[in-house]
């Protein structure tokens, strides 16, 4: 039987999730299945026979669900008693569909458990949660016949409901969860358990659709096991790598304001043969980044340096890609005034980037507007070369050592340019793409540029 799934995604990432699903899940599937991928706001639906462990590798998804039903929106009668009945009938419907879905859900849990036993990695605490599920579901595996296999008294559940639009004017999410839960309990004989249920029933009701699903994993896909210290949302960090126009294997990739290393680690998961350099002025952030790097087992690939993005200690043109989440000053404080510093930051990033290389920036709405005034047809201010510094040392006072010989030699450089009131413009970067994303409380833009020529420096 073809299994139907859906993933939730942050605003702006649905399109990327569709591309990822088609690339990762349908590589061995019939071509006709590509037509079964559907995108709506916040969700992507698809049918697939791919192993469920493959689905857990979707990097742009928040959560993965087995789809029970996607139906038209509920039309409620004015009578409240009749409305409750309509809600229950619309959501629960045929009990046999739920029983079949339960069997499918159980089979997928077995796939997940088997995959883990063969060394396939999932995220933190997943082993414990799957073992608990397997133990709770053991009574369901004693017989292959549908009617006998389902020991109804062993199933515990809770309902997680979200509603919007017209129905939200009459019912809260909690009230809808209660109404739906009562119908499931009565019709399927499942037991309510709000703390540690075997099954979570996820319901989303709006003016456009009614979606019912069962999450396959306890933890969101977006919660990476290697991120001991959280920074930028991992799905956004991954998107910055995904939107880069060319593969980055055998490349040198720099994040000059790396924070806890979220962007670098997402890129490192995708490109096994690249070298990653992370820089930050805040030693406490670098220490957290080092812990994340160690947790990801990326010590040989990711090197960290305490340094200012205003004076990147690399010679010009030695980096293949610059990926940077430019601080907004909302979640993490920043020691410099970003609107004032942005022209100089961009100039330094452009300087170390090779011709043909790519600059990928995550910027706030304010900084995005300012960006348009900087990258235009004007002559930039000249930068002068100065002394060398060490590529991987975290002591900013050690600035006279040569760089280590890594996968490709990086000669170090220190810029002597100072911030001034003189306007600074960049003419060597060509816009490739701009992609809007949501960070929850605010929106942002991912800007991608290609360096088409070396910057012509004049006095």
Give yes or no for residue 459 having a pLDDT over 90: no
What percent of the chain clears pLDDT 90, i.e. is strictly above it?
60
Phi, psi for residue 12 in degrees, rounded to 5: 95, -10
Per the model's pLDDT, the better-predicted residue between 356 and 408 turns out to be 356
Domain boundaries, the chain: 62-215, 234-451
Residue 290 confidence (pLDDT): 97
Position 60 confidence tier, pLDDT thresholds 50, 70, 90: very high
Residue 404 confidence (pLDDT): 38
Give yes or no for residue 420 having a pLDDT over 60: no
The model's pLDDT over 390-408, given as tens digits with 9 standing for 90+, comes to 333 334 333 333 333 433 3
Residue 332 confidence (pLDDT): 45
Residue 148 confidence (pLDDT): 43
Counting beta carbons within 10 angstroms of the beta carbon of residue 394, is it exposed (0 to 12), middle (13 to 18) or buried (19 or more)? middle
Q: What is the mean pLDDT of the chain?
A: 81
Give yes or no for residue 117 having a pLDDT over 80: no
Give yes or no for residue 144 having a pLDDT over 90: no
Position 116 confidence tier, pLDDT thresholds 50, 70, 90: low
Residues 6+ apart with CB under 8 A from 21: 7, 37, 44, 46, 48, 58
Residue 118 confidence (pLDDT): 58
Rounded CA separation 269/251 (Å): 14
pTM to 2 decimal places = 0.80
Rounded CA separation 326/69 (Å): 41
What percent of the chain clears pLDDT 70, i.e. is strictly above it?
76
Give yes or no for residue 213 having a pLDDT over 70: yes
Give yes or no for residue 438 having a pLDDT over 50: yes
Give yes or no for residue 200 having a pLDDT over 90: yes
| 48-55: average pLDDT | 89
Per the model's pLDDT, the better-predicted residue between 398 and 170 turns out to be 170
Domain 62-215, CATH homologous superfamily name and number: THUMP superfamily (3.30.2300.10)
Per the model's pLDDT, the better-predicted residue between 139 and 263 turns out to be 263
Q: For the ranges 5-19, 304-318, 443-457, which has the lowest average pLDDT?
A: 443-457
Tokens of residue 263, six digits: 């962007």
Residue 416 confidence (pLDDT): 39
Give yes or no for residue 230 having a pLDDT over 60: yes
| 433-450: average pLDDT | 94
Residue 3 confidence (pLDDT): 87
Give yes or no for residue 414 having a pLDDT over 50: no
Beta carbons of 350 and 428 less than 8 angstroms apart: yes
Give yes or no for residue 120 having a pLDDT over 60: no
Residues 6+ apart with CB under 8 A from 59: 20, 221, 234, 235, 238, 242, 266, 269
Most confident stretch, 119-133, 323-337, 404-418: 323-337
Beta carbons of 223 and 80 less than 8 angstroms apart: no
Residue 419 confidence (pLDDT): 42
Residue 423 confidence (pLDDT): 54
Give yes or no for residue 294 having a pLDDT over 80: yes
CATH architecture under which domain 234-451 falls:
3-Layer(aba) Sandwich (3.40)
Per the model's pLDDT, the better-predicted residue between 89 and 131 turns out to be 89
Q: For the ranges 128-137, 233-242, 393-402, which has the lowest average pLDDT?
A: 393-402
Q: For the ranges 95-99, 123-127, 431-435, which has the lowest average pLDDT?
A: 123-127
| 152-168: average pLDDT | 88
Position 226 confidence tier, pLDDT thresholds 50, 70, 90: confident
Tokens of residue 273, six digits: 């043969």
Give yes or no for residue 283 having a pLDDT over 90: yes
Nearest Cα to 449, choosing from 349, 351, 316, 358?
358
Give yes or no for residue 112 having a pLDDT over 80: yes
Residues 6+ apart with CB under 8 A from 250: 273, 274, 407
Between CA 334 and CA 271, with CA 361 as vertex, the angle to 5 degrees is 115
Residue 174 confidence (pLDDT): 95
Give yes or no for residue 255 having a pLDDT over 70: yes
Per the model's pLDDT, the better-predicted residue between 380 and 160 turns out to be 160
């Amino acid at each position: 039987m073809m299994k139907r799934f859906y993933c939730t995604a942050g605003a702006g990432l649905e399109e990327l999730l569709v591309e990822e699903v088609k690339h990762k899940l349908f590589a061995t599937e019939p071509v006709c299945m590509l037509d079964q991928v559907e995108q709506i706001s916040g969700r992507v639906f698809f049918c697939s026979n791919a192993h469920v462990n493959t689905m857990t590798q979707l990097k742009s998804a928040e959560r993965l669900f087995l789809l029970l039903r996607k139906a038209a929106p509920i039309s409620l009668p004015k009578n409240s008693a009749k409305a409750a009945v309509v809600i229950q009938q619309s959501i629960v419907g045929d009990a046999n569909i739920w029983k079949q879905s339960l069997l499918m859900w159980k089979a997928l849990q077995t796939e997940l458990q088997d995959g883990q036993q063969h060394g396939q990695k999932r995220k933190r605490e997943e082993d414990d949660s799957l073992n608990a599920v397997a133990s709770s579901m053991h009574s369901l595996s004693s017989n292959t016949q549908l009617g006998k296999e389902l020991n109804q008294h062993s199933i515990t559940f809770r309902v997680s409901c979200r509603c919007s639009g017209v129905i939200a004017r009459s019912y809260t999410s909690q009230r809808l969860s209660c109404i739906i839960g009562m119908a499931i309990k009565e019709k399927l004989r499942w037991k309510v358990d709000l703390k540690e249920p075997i099954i979570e029933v996820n319901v989303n009701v709006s003016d456009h659709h009614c979606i019912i699903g069962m999450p396959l994993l306890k933890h969101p896909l977006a919660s990476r096991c290697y991120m001991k210290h959280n920074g930028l949302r991992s799905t956004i960090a991954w998107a910055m790598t995904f939107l880069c126009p060319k593969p980055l294997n055998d490349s040198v990739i720099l994040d000059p304001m790396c924070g806890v290393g979220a962007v670098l680690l997402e890129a490192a998961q995708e490109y096994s043969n690249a070298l990653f350099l992370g820089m930050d002025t805040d030693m406490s952030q670098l220490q957290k980044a080092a812990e994340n790097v160690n947790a990801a087992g990326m010590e040989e690939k990711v090197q960290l340096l305490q340094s200012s993005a205003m004076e990147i200690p690399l010679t010009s043109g030695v980096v293949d890609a610059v990926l940077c989440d430019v601080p907004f000053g909302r979640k993490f404080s920043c020691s410099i005034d970003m609107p004032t510093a942005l022209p100089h930051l961009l100039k330094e990033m452009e300087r170390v980037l090779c011709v043909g290389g790519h600059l990928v920036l995550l910027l706030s709405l304010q900084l995005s507007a300012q960006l348009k005034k900087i990258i235009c047809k004007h002559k930039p201010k000249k930068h002068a070369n100065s002394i060398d510094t060490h590529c991987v040392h975290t002591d900013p006072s050690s600035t006279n050592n040569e760089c280590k010989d890594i996968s490709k030699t990086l000669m170090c450089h220190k810029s002597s340019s100072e911030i001034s009131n003189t306007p600074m413009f960049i003419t060597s970067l060509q816009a490739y793409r701009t992609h809007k994303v949501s960070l929850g409380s605010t929106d942002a833009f991912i800007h991608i540029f290609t360096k088409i020529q070396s910057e012509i420096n004049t006095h």
